[in-house]
């Protein structure tokens, strides 16, 4: 398992646990479970995600993904997590804290996905509730942001249940499934978080 080294705080290992879930950085040993879950969930995930690279579900594509993750973690730009059920080790999805900005901002943006077999069962809400204390604690963020397509009612519910406030609409904000789409913007401040 990789150890995250943050330039401002020394060695930190982020493996949040709670609510029957464990979150940790992806490892090469996760490839098979990750690829199977993503492949089985492709139709479910496609409307909500960027277009997948042609080699996305290959071992070499996953290895390249891990190299990028390692670089992002080392430079304090991004922190990816896979979500596992502790009872049986099943991978249910993933959350990434990306676009980390320091200095006078101390903010980052979260994105997440859940495999279709685990959708609408509260896993993402539980995972986000487990991760947020680490983002405001160990990573010293002041603000966590998220964006979702207005028609993604499940994602809106996750964010609202976790205390995020709706802050506006960004027109044609992200290219999702090959189309520039409007997104609702959400934010959560450290002082508003009730962990």
Which domains occur in the chain, in start order? 4-192 (3.40.630.30)
- In this predicted model, what pLDDT tens digit does every residue of 140-153 receive, in sequence order? 999 999 999 999 99
* Average pLDDT of the residues of the chain: 92
Percent of the chain with pLDDT over 70: 93
Note the pLDDT tens digit of each residue in 153-165. Answer: 999 999 999 999 9
The sheet carrying 143-148 orders its strands as 17-18, 21-24, 79-85, 91-101, 107-114, 143-148, 179-189, 165-176
Task: For residue 94, give the DSSP letter.
Answer: E
CB contact at 8 A, 112 and 93: yes
Give the rounded distance of the alpha carbon of 130 from its chain centre.
Answer: 12
Contacts of 74 (CB under 8 A, 6+ apart): 5
The per-residue pLDDT for 6 is 39
């Amino acid at each position: 398992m990789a150890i995250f080294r943050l330039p401002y705080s020394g060695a930190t290992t982020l493996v949040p646990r709670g609510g029957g879930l464990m979150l940790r950085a992806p490892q090469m040993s996760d490839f098979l479970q990750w690829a199977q879950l993503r492949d089985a969930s492709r139709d479910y995930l496609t409307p909500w995600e960027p277009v997948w690279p042609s080699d996305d579900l290959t071992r070499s594509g996953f290895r390249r993904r891990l190299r990028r993750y390692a670089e992002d973690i080392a430079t304090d730009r991004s922190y990816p997590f896979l979500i596992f059920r502790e009872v049986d080790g099943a991978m249910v999805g993933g959350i990434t804290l990306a676009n980390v900005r320091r200095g006078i901002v101390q903010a980052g943006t979260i994105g997440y996905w859940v495999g279709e077999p685990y959708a609408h069962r509260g896993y993402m809400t539980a995972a986000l509730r487990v991760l947020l204390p680490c983002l405001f604690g160990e990573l010293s963020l002041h603000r966590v942001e998220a964006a979702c397509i207005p028609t993604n009612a499940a994602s809106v519910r996750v964010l609202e249940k976790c205390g995020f406030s709706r802050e506006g609409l960004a027109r044609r904000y992200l290219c999702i499934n090959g189309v520039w789409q409007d997104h609702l913007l959400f934010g959560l401040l450290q002082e508003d978080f009730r962990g």
